[in-house]
């Protein structure tokens, strides 16, 4: 997808050209101090009906969401398996109570990080390779498919033993959200991101 910081819209390619739509930007809600440049990473917030039994993690997740709609969160800025698995599962478990504004923050793009063959340079310290706003590498249809992968990651983290999972997942809607974060290689389980959201404050203090 093509992200335009000038008009604040995301342009989605289709059979008949591009369709523009407005994403959402989440406000910074962390109560803790943070250092570093704030970047906004794209995730799909997928509304889904999941039937996996009364003892499934989804039932616990619905209780966490309370009166709000429960979502499966699918990272859209990376195709790396560990990002999809770890970050997607963490966001889904947290059931973020986001303060959203419509549109994209109008922030200038920075030059991408240079690729280097220098073995003395720690690639993790170079950052994600994009500016203030992340790219959107996962489209709407792929997000619906990857919601299954993220949910199964949640199931696997919840179980002590491997076994088959009998579930049904039906996507009922999706929207694109940009979450505030700071690149920090120490945040291993969140795929090198410190999320500036109050739901993750307990992991940082």
Q: What does pTM read for this prediction?
A: 0.86
| pLDDT value of position 149 | 94
CA angle in degrees (0–180, nearest 5) for 47-139-174 = 15
Over residues 2-11, the mean pLDDT reads 86
Two tokens, residue 74: 């699918």
pLDDT: which is higher, 105 or 40: 40
Could you read off the pLDDT of 126-161 as tens digits, one per residue? 678 888 999 999 999 999 999 999 999 998 876 666
Q: How far apart are CA 25 and CA 14, in angstroms?
A: 24
**Burial of residue 76 (number of CB atoms within 10 Å: 0-12, 13-18, 19+):** buried
CA-closest candidate to residue 151, choices 60, 17, 79: 60
User: Nearest 5°: phi and psi at 24?
Assistant: -120, 150
Over residues 94-109, the mean pLDDT reads 80
Confidence of residue 171 (pLDDT cuts 50, 70, 90): very high
| pLDDT value of position 111 | 41
Q: What is the 3-state secondary structure (H, E, C) of 163-201?
A: CCCCCEEEEEEEEEEEEEEEECCCCHHHCCEEECCHHHH
Q: How far apart are CA 8 and CA 57, in angstroms?
A: 36
Q: How far apart are CA 102 and CA 35, in angstroms?
A: 26
Whether residue 114 is predicted with pLDDT greater than 50 in this model: the reply is: no
Could you read off the pLDDT of 179-203 as tens digits, one per residue? 999 998 888 878 899 999 999 998 7
Average per-residue pLDDT for the chain: 85
| pLDDT value of position 112 | 42
Q: How far apart are CA 116 and CA 159, in angstroms?
A: 41
| pLDDT value of position 109 | 42
Whether residue 54 is predicted with pLDDT greater than 70 in this model: the reply is: yes
Two tokens, residue 178: 């940009």
Two tokens, residue 147: 């919601």
Could you read off the pLDDT of 87-100 as tens digits, one per residue? 999 999 999 999 99
For 133, left (φ over 0), alpha (ψ -120 to 50), or beta? Answer: beta
User: Nearest 5°: phi and psi at 72?
Assistant: -100, 125
């Amino acid at each position: 997808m093509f992200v335009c910081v000038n008009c604040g819209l995301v342009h989605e390619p289709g059979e008949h050209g591009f369709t523009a739509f407005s994403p959402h930007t989440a406000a910074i809600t962390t109560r803790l101090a943070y250092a570093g440049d704030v970047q906004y990473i794209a995730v799909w917030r997928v509304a889904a009906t999941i039937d996996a039994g009364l003892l499934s993690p989804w039932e616990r997740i619905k209780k966490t969401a309370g009166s709000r709609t429960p979502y499966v969160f699918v990272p859209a800025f990376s195709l790396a398996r560990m990002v999809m698995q770890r970050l997607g599962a963490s966001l889904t478990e947290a059931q973020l109570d986001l303060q959203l504004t419509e549109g994209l923050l109008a922030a200038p793009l920075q030059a991408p990080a240079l690729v280097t063959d220098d073995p003395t340079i720690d690639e993790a310290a170079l950052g994600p390779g994009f500016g203030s706003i992340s790219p959107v590498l996962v489209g709407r249809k792929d997000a619906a498919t990857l919601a299954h992968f993220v949910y199964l990651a949640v199931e696997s983290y919840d179980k002590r033993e491997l076994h088959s999972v009998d579930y049904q997942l039906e996507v009922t809607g999706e929207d694109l959200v940009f979450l505030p974060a700071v690149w920090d290689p120490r945040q291993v389980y969140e795929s090198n991101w410190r999320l500036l959201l109050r739901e993750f404050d307990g992991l940082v203090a």
